[in-house]
Amino acid sequence: MIRKAPFSIRKTRNHAIPVILTLLAVFVSSCDIFDDCSSSNSYSMRCNGLSLEQCVYRDNGYKWVEYKNCITGCPSEIGNPSCVASTCSCSVQSQYVCEHGGTYRCNGNNAEKCESLDHYNGHIWENIKNCESLFRENEVVESGSCSSENEYYEPKCVPKIKKAFRGKWFRLDNSTDFYLGTNGITRGSYNSQFIPDSITKIDDNMLEITGNGETFRLIRNSINDATLKLNVKKAFSYTRSPSGSGVGGVDVIIENTQDPGETYEKQSGSDGSTQFDDIVSGEYDISVGNTKVTQNISDYLNAGNFYVSQSGYIYKALLNSTNEVYYAEDRDNSDVGNRYTVHLRVYNLGNQDASATTITLKTDDNAIKVDAKDEILGTIEPERYVSFDFYVETIPFSKVAGLGSAVYHDVEFLVSLKDINGEVWEDTVTLRIFRKAVPIYLYSTMSNPFILLSPHREIVSMSNVVWVPYRPDAKYKLIAQSLSLNTEGVYSIGIGSWDSEKWQSDRENFTDVSNYEPNNQESQAKTVYMNSQTTSYLHKNDIDFWIIDTFFDL
């Protein structure tokens, strides 16, 4: 037994040797760890696992020393590192690869740059800053947001505004337009980016902004509860009867042209009807299926019919402007109506010429008389429109059954569009007719310090006499301010009537400068009533708020 033990052990070793040599052969072939490191191959490279090593002279001899770790520059979340043929490599997932270096993008709230990947012949998107952490949440700001104007410039971190404060705003001291949205703050007609140092809420309709070395105030001139209504219909190709039955399940998307983040989406109802409520007023791209058209929504808009069509063209009729105001009564004689020219646009939203289009317009509403002859509009090319004017004569509400006490009335017109094949498309356009106009008189010893806001907070063009719709159901807001004026003085407001002699006396004898104060916030606004005249005073850097109440007993 004693003599057999060594033999047994030796036999075991003899069998083990080939196994070990086989493993070493595999190891050598993949990583070359037995490559000679001497003066003859100094500075040569080899792979050792995920380490790239270099032969260098160190501590009185040549040694293999780690040159680079292939994991560096190839984060595990974007790829798989490897060391092959004496070089580091990285198998990058496609979503992280960018096509070329030196460009930027926003990826959610992260700003990213297309950077060269270490040890890899390619580029990946690398996070350079997280915008969400740069703007703290407060009453106005939701978080930080990434804003990119051009792929060749580093994105900016901007404040993402909460829904309650998004929309158009107006700078009181220099009449500059601002837009507050999900993509930060833009300023002026060119929508240049403005990055504030701070935003402070004065009240729901006034903000104080600090930035670029100045502090100023903004007043809201938009609403966030506007409404859009439309119908989705199916148009049958080449039939000789009025087209259109309601279509449900069609995607309807509206996107604010000043704030792509302010986008609303839903599907049409079973009868094709679609309505969006509580949206921020402004200009929107309205997309239905594959068609798109742009229209302004200030308060309420019935955008008519949008078609899903088998043919290569799709008609759409829209008012040229949604800001025109129409009155049922003449300003000087309530027994007489008014005559207006209404400007219409007929669009081709499809991809083929709409050949030899003929238009017919009519309404059954007895609150208005229409002068509109059938007219050949001609061929309308894709993505183009043709203008069509028609005339209406309004009738005082007192003469129309059912409208005796109405403040306004919506008149719907049926627009029929027919092509050379006899196919007929039907659309609707709606005019809102207001009962009557009311004058607001504004006089001051200073140079026009007034800003007038409609009930849906759109700025009304100013002059000494401003005619506005009679709205006992809603209030106008008037701001008198001397922030932009290096002066102070007396001013007077008259609603519905004006006494010139009283104004002359007031401007010469007014001394009660504390009258109606304080009223430097909208919540402190005093009310001026119909057929009254009020005089007050603006001191230097002053703001006065007024509510205009046009109600009177008819």
Q: For the segment 262-271, what is each residue's pLDDT rounded down to a tens digit? A: 999 999 999 9
Band of pLDDT at residue 453, cut at 50, 70 and 90: very high
User: Is 237's pLDDT higher than 60?
Assistant: no
User: Is 159's pLDDT higher than 50?
Assistant: yes
The CATH architecture annotation of domain 314-435 reads Sandwich (2.60)
Query: Could you tell me which of 551, 418, 545 has the C-alpha nearest to residue 475?
Result: 551
User: Is 30's pLDDT higher than 60?
Assistant: no
Q: Hey, is 351 helix, strand or coil?
A: coil
Give residue 552's pLDDT. Answer: 77
**More confident call, 76 vs 422:** 422
Query: Could you tell me which of 207, 133, 200 has the C-alpha nearest to residue 167?
Result: 207
Give residue 62's pLDDT. Answer: 93
Reading across the β-sheet that carries 385-394, which strands appear in turn?
315-319, 339-348, 385-394, 368-371
Give residue 8's pLDDT. Answer: 33
Give residue 155's pLDDT. Answer: 92
User: Is 209's pLDDT higher than 60?
Assistant: yes
The mean pLDDT of 508-532, rounded to a whole number, is 92
The pLDDT tens digits for 49-95 are 999 999 999 888 999 999 988 887 777 777 888 888 888 888 877 76
* Listed range (236-250, 378-392, 461-475) with the worst mean pLDDT: 236-250
Distance of CA 345 to the CA centre of its chain: 24
Give residue 94's pLDDT. Answer: 73
Give residue 289's pLDDT. Answer: 86
Cβ 184 vs Cβ 133: under 8 Å: no
Give residue 118's pLDDT. Answer: 64
Band of pLDDT at residue 110, cut at 50, 70 and 90: very high
User: Is 526's pLDDT higher than 70?
Assistant: yes
User: Is 252's pLDDT higher than 70?
Assistant: yes
The mean pLDDT of 377-406, rounded to a whole number, is 95
Give residue 164's pLDDT. Answer: 95
* Listed range (28-32, 154-158, 296-300) with the worst mean pLDDT: 28-32
The mean pLDDT of 367-390, rounded to a whole number, is 96
Give residue 34's pLDDT. Answer: 55
Domain range list for the chain: 1-31, 314-435, 437-549
Distance of CA 434 to the CA centre of its chain: 30
| Alpha helices for 246-338 (secondary structure H) | none
Give residue 77's pLDDT. Answer: 73
Give residue 303's pLDDT. Answer: 95
Band of pLDDT at residue 119, cut at 50, 70 and 90: low
Cβ 394 vs Cβ 411: under 8 Å: no
3-state secondary structure 420-470: CCCCEEEEEEEEEEECCEEEEEEEECCCCCEEEECCCCCEECCCCEEEEEC
User: Is 238's pLDDT higher than 70?
Assistant: no
Distance of CA 304 to the CA centre of its chain: 22
The mean pLDDT of 34-44, rounded to a whole number, is 84
Q: What percent of the chain has pLDDT over 70?
A: 90
User: Is 539's pLDDT higher than 50?
Assistant: yes
Band of pLDDT at residue 97, cut at 50, 70 and 90: confident
User: Is 99's pLDDT higher than 80?
Assistant: no
Band of pLDDT at residue 515, cut at 50, 70 and 90: confident
Give residue 11's pLDDT. Answer: 34
User: Is 26's pLDDT higher than 60?
Assistant: no
The mean pLDDT of 492-513, rounded to a whole number, is 95
Give residue 462's pLDDT. Answer: 84
Residue 549: HSE in the Cβ half-sphere, 13 Å Cα cutoff:
10
Give residue 133's pLDDT. Answer: 87
pLDDT mean across residues, the chain: 87
Cα separation, 50 vs 501, in Å, equals 94
Which residues 6+ apart lie within 8 Å of 547 measured at CB? Answer: 475, 476, 477, 478, 525, 526, 527, 528
| End-to-end Cα distance, the chain | 129
The mean pLDDT of 540-547, rounded to a whole number, is 94
User: Is 379's pLDDT higher than 70?
Assistant: yes
Q: What percent of the chain has pLDDT over 90?
A: 65
